Amino acid sequence: MSSSPQTCRINPSILSADFANLEAELGRISNADAAHVDVMDNHFVPNLTLGHPVVERLQKISPVPLDVHLMIADADRWAPAYADLGAASVTFHVEAAAAPIKLARELRARGAKAGMALRPATPVEPYLDMLPELDMLLIMTVEPGFGGQSFLDVTVPKIRRARAAVEEAGVDVAIQVDGGVTDETIIRAAEAGANVFVAGSSVYGKESPADAIEALRAGGLQAMPRAAANAS
Ligand code: DX5
Ligand code: ZN
């Protein structure tokens, strides 16, 4: 009874891209598994990025699937529209959802993978029974709101516990980490059991984002078998 090992997926965050040239910036990450799109509303987090009309356009022109991360209040109300526009996955914050199970079902019914995110200080344990309702669990490794922050090592035990719970339940739920992911921190996150890695500044901050993606993927892949060994 095991869903491991899963593939190692690298989803660059376009939060660190040039917002005036998003089509070209997406073209620079065409070897990524998905483009991570951070939607912020200046309520749930103290920052404002882009919203539905822009994501709708990105969906039409992106060479890779969209992985939408909603850092917005009242997720129950706004998230389904991102599934409707064709995003491959839509992730809402549990802290911003009144009825997370209902919302996850709604996202799946509209054809998207359902993701649920936890802020660094939000424990995973209260939500373990709802793992079968999800396709992805996003464990934030920084406080959401801004790119370029340092990876919070305090979240590593939570990644480990989440991976153990996924294995025990025998469900196919990806574990995503987001924030401060670099060539160095991806090793710790992958060893703990993460298999989807969001990286903003460590991809777009490099001269070749495509090479940065390959380097992250190689590092993550190498560390992931150790995660499987640790879990067994
Ligand atoms: C932060 C966002 C992240 C951000 C990560 O709230 O959710 O996706 O872009 O940026 P880095 O990789 O620079 O920490
Ligand atoms: Zn994000």
Q: How much of the chain, in percent, has pLDDT values that exceed 70?
A: 97
pLDDT at 227 over 90: no
Q: 148-190: per-residue pLDDT in tens? A: 999 999 999 999 999 999 999 999 999 999 999 999 999 999 9
pTM: 0.96
Asked about 38 being catalytic, the answer comes back as yes
List the catalytic residue out of 41, 76, 178, 211: 178
Atom of ligand 1 nearest to the CA of 45: 6
**Token pair 């882009």: residue:** 50
Whose alpha carbon is nearest atom 6 of ligand 1?
Answer: 144
Q: CB of 36 closer than 6 A to ligand 1?
A: yes
Question: How many Å is the Cα radius of gyration of the chain?
Answer: 16
Domain 9-231 top-level CATH class: alpha beta
The predicted model gives 38-45 an average pLDDT of 98
Q: 79-136: per-residue pLDDT in tens? A: 999 999 999 999 999 999 999 999 999 999 999 999 999 999 999 999 999 999 999 9
Report d(CA 118, CA 92) in Å as an integer.
Answer: 9
Sheet holding 66-71, edge to edge: 9-12, 196-199, 174-178, 136-140, 113-118, 89-93, 66-71, 35-40
The predicted model gives 134-152 an average pLDDT of 98
Q: What is the pLDDT of residue 5?
A: 52
Asked about 135 being catalytic, the answer comes back as no
Whose alpha carbon is nearest atom 10 of ligand 1?
Answer: 147
70, 149, 186, 204: which to mutate for ligand 1, most atoms within 8 A of CB? 149
Ligand 2 (ion): which residues have CB within 5 A? Answer: 38, 69, 178
pLDDT at 214 over 70: yes
Where are the chain's structural domains?
9-231
Residue 161 near residue 139 (C-beta atoms within 8 A): no
pLDDT at 231 over 90: no
Report d(CA 202, CA 209) in Å as an integer.
Answer: 8
Q: What is the pLDDT of residue 228?
A: 73
